[in-house]
Amino acid sequence: MNVWINDTPHTLPEPATVADALTALNAVPPFAVAVNRVFVPRSAYAAHGLHDDDRIEVIRPVTGG
């Protein structure tokens, strides 16, 4: 399946979850995740299934003033 992670195309094996996408990205916490602009709670990463052309955003906190 083809998905977009932070506006970069990725191919994941089916069936894929948010947890699979994070593994493909080698994501290191802290971060938040949204799929198609909808927040996904950390507790749902392993259960939230992905579909072809989903857009996953991995958002890291920004500090500063």
* pTM for the full predicted model: 0.92
pLDDT in tens, 44-54: 999 999 999 99
Q: What is the mean pLDDT of the chain?
A: 96
Residue 65 has pLDDT above 80, yes or no: no
pLDDT for residue 19: 98
Name the CATH topology of 2-59. Ubiquitin-like (UB roll) (3.10.20)
Q: Please enumerate, as own/partner, the contacts of 3-6 that have beta carbons within 8 Å and a separation of 24 or more.
A: 3/50, 3/52, 3/53, 3/54, 3/55, 3/56, 4/53, 4/54, 4/55, 4/56, 5/56, 5/57, 5/58, 6/56, 6/57, 6/58
Domain ranges of the chain: 2-59
pLDDT class for 64, splitting at 50, 70, 90?
confident
